[in-house]
Structure 1
Amino acid sequence: MNTATSALYHDFSGLTALKHQAREDQAGTADQVARQFESLFVQMMVKQMRQASFGNGLFESKQSEFVRDMYDQQLSLHLSEQRGLGMAKLLRNQLGVEQAVKTQPNTSLEAYWQHPSVLAKGRVTAAAKADNTAAEDRPSVNIDSPESFVEALWPAADSAAQALGLPTEALLAQAALETGWGGHVMRSADGGSSHNLFGIKADQRWSGDRVRQETLEFEQDVVVRRREYFRTYGSYDESFRDYVTFLKQNPRYTNALQNTQDATQYFKALQDAGYATDPDYAEKIVRVMQGPEMQTALNRLKGSLRQSIQSETEAI
């Protein structure tokens, strides 16, 4: 949405456009209105400081005062368009705009990648309440929290982890980072889940279905957006099995597979081999693996298993 504003203090057309836009979108123009008000306040401050000075200089004239006034007014507008004095923010708070912005959850996968340990319960709970047609990327099984993510995927993850010699929670942590605890699994062409938990791309070696998706890549420490083709699977079990096959059939990951006794070293070797372009990829996975969400989910799973075993024992 284009937002009207005045770039010059005498640009009344910008103010007129702002008034017109305010009639149609009050919330969207509140920020610009607050900045315009702050600009007027700064003008008053500058004018008062000028008047409190020791008087005009020897070479002052009506013309120089006129130019100075123009400069002061333009300066005040420029300051308000930059960081300002903080008054615009206070005005937005009074109008209720700032609070509305703060209460809107940031549910993007980019935000999760930037702060993987500050996850999710609020985000995935909100996603679970959303309509299926409106949700961005909903998994095909009932996953709406880190706990349900771990519980639903544990059997397939455990089988793949044993094949690699890794702790099961290590693979779950990588899948959680790639998909935001299952809340952002890519959709296939027919609108269903791609079940791609590890972001494996569909290159010339892949003969199955694929989906084109926007992704973030690091190029010389700069994040760029690209559209790439990714593999799609019929189930999450297939995704885990293909992850194991993908690593074992690719010689570049030999060193990583030789360090599976230490999950931290494994992910570092995986990153060094080019599995991901994010320079902090391994560190982020380890933070997820050791984070409170994973520990809570694991404790809940252990409790459920103990309860199941106890129930079966009592039944016998």
Structure 2
Amino acid sequence: MGYGNSLGTPSLGNMQSLAVDTQSLGALKLQAGKNSPEAIKETAKQFESLFMRELVKSMREATMKSGMLDNPGSDLGTDLLDQQLAVSMSGQPGGLSDLIAQQLTRQMGITAEPGTDAATPTRPQTLGSATPSTAPRATASDATLPPVKIKRTPTESQASFVRQHSDVASKVEKATGIPASFMLGQAGHETGWGRAQIKTKGGGNSFNLFGIKAGASWTGKVAEVTTTEYVNGVAKKQVAKFRAYDSYEDSFKDYARLISESPRYAKARAQTGSAQAFASGLQKAGYATDPEYAAKLSRAINTTLHLRRLQV
């Protein structure tokens, strides 16, 4: 789908189609980079359209076909219909596009005119018992990542954990590009959603949410605890040293630095477009010895992603 004769000068007011290829997405990035509230609003709408199209596509795939009238022509017609349906469902007041626009506005440091969607949310964004100031702050990655399926309804302890750490995770995502939901999901998995955090010798909080061990190069504080490691597939108890921080924010920053700078996790870092691929990359790189780590982490990330999307 094109946007006119030139990618640099498409008319935002006439964008009624859906960005479905690299060229069109490039045009959206160019428009968003113009620091215009109108451009940001249209970009957010297009991202919502992409999300809605994937959602409708998943629903189609889950529906059994009769096989009698199915052919390439009917598949094309259905695809075009779904595309237009996604466009028509996007850009509604209080929808996902408003949330994406708000996030883009904050990240780009733009002060929109009073009353515009990019600057003023149409309603408080809450989740469960959260208030607007404590609700999870979704980021652009929450909208652009593929739809997720969860087998169990998230618990209040999981929702509370996500609310507690969402602001810091979103801040670190902005600085590093690692999706906040990925970090929150991994922190939740490593700590039992906050119930099993690593303590220091005196019983204090190590603020280590990611189970990062203190190797020979670590010069900061440490916490020694008994942990379960898998040796040749067999679980064994061992005493290990873990890094200790002064705050949860330091923990998030150190984790992001480890994933971003260590060659060991380069492949995982390149797979942030998929929770499953990212989790598999971490396991293959040896982040944890649990043979089921990738599957468990994927479920935790999907739970976090689901919780952050609920606030829309």
Q: Name the TM-score, length of structure 1 as normaliser.
A: 0.47
Q: Which has more helix, going by share of residues?
A: 1
- Normalising to structure 2: TM-score of the pair? 0.48
* Larger-gyration structure (1/2): 1
